[in-house]
Each structure stands twice: as structure tokens, then as C-alpha cells.
């Protein structure tokens, strides 16, 4: 919890023995949002960012997570990979795990992510993972983004 509070205040954190490239840790606003949700009783799974790591290299590659608990069966995810670590499959692996957690929760039927229109690599990644583009919108931060949705497969016996 101490490291979360330090990140939210844009202060350095101590991750014993781990290399942390610039841009690997979640932004202060993301962590501040998570702390506010924790204070309101949101379960950790649905609000605290996960670090994406390479244990063999003792390196933090990026972070990902759910932005809020599911609302009406929908949950939004976000992710970021340090620029020096991109293109090596870390985001693919991390998003795959988020999708699996969302699907297995029994609470989610749609997973949403918002991607800046110029971020071609992220658009290609989510497309490969089965997301569908649902058009442009202005997000909560006032940015023009493309809305992508992944629908949880429902299997009937």
C-alpha cells in the first residue's frame, strides 16, 4: 500500500532488485483512482494495477488492470508497456490474463478498452485478441479515443 501511495504522489518507489525502465509503472492518476476505489470498498482485483514483469530479467515491463469493478456486466481495462519493452509480447500476455480473469469472474460479459486513434500497435493487438472496434468517442479525460470491445463467449451445454 505504501508504494501505491508513493506512486499516486509521483514519488519514487522501492522495488528491491527490480529494474524499472521509464514508463513501466502506472501513471499517478491511475494509482490515485485505484486508491480512491479501495477507500470506497472496491475489491482489489477490480481497481489495483498489476505489474507486468519479466522474472528472468528482474524487470518491470509495464502495468495493466481493470479501471473499475464491472458495471452492468461491462468492465474497462487499461495497460501500458515501457517504450523500451514494447513489441516483445508482454502486452499480449497481460491482456490475455485480464480477459481470462474477467471471463472467469462470472460478472463480465463485455471488456472495453479505449485506444488513441494513432496507436496502431495497440489497435492491432486488441484486434488479434478478438476485440471489435465500436467507433470514436471522447473519454473521461477529454481525449478522442477508439472504443474496442471484447465479448465474453457464452458456452451452452
Residue-wise pLDDT tens digits, 62-119: 999 999 999 999 999 999 999 999 999 999 999 999 999 999 999 999 999 999 999 9
pLDDT of residue 154: 62
Residue-wise pLDDT tens digits, 5-46: 999 999 999 898 999 999 999 999 999 999 999 999 999 999
Helix ranges restricted to H, the chain:
2-8, 28-39, 90-105, 120-128
Is 157 a residue whose pLDDT tops 70? no
Distance (Å, whole) CA 150 – CA 98: 11
For 120, phi then psi, to 5°, come to -65, -40
pLDDT of residue 156: 44
Amino acid at each position: 500500500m505504501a508504494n501505491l501511495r508513493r506512486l499516486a504522489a509521483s514519488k519514487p518507489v522501492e522495488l528491491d532488485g527490480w529494474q524499472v525502465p521509464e514508463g513501466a509503472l502506472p501513471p499517478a492518476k491511475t494509482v490515485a483512482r485505484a486508491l480512491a476505489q479501495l477507500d470506497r470498498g472496491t475489491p482489489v482485483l477490480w481497481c489495483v494495477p498489476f505489474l507486468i514483469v519479466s522474472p528472468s530479467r528482474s524487470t518491470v515491463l509495464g502495468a495493466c488492470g481493470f479501471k473499475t469493478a464491472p458495471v452492468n456486466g461491462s468492465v474497462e481495462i487499461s495497460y501500458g508497456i515501457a517504450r523500451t519493452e514494447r513489441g516483445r509480447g508482454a502486452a499480449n500476455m497481460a491482456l490475455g490474463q485480464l480477459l481470462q480473469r474477467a471471463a472467469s469472474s462470472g460478472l463480465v460479459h463485455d471488456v472495453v478498452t479505449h485506444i488513441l486513434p494513432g496507436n496502431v500497435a495497440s489497435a492491432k493487438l486488441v484486434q488479434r485478441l478478438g476485440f471489435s472496434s465500436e467507433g470514436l468517442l471522447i473519454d473521461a479525460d477529454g481525449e478522442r479515443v477508439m472504443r474496442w470491445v471484447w465479448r465474453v463467449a457464452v458456452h451452452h451445454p
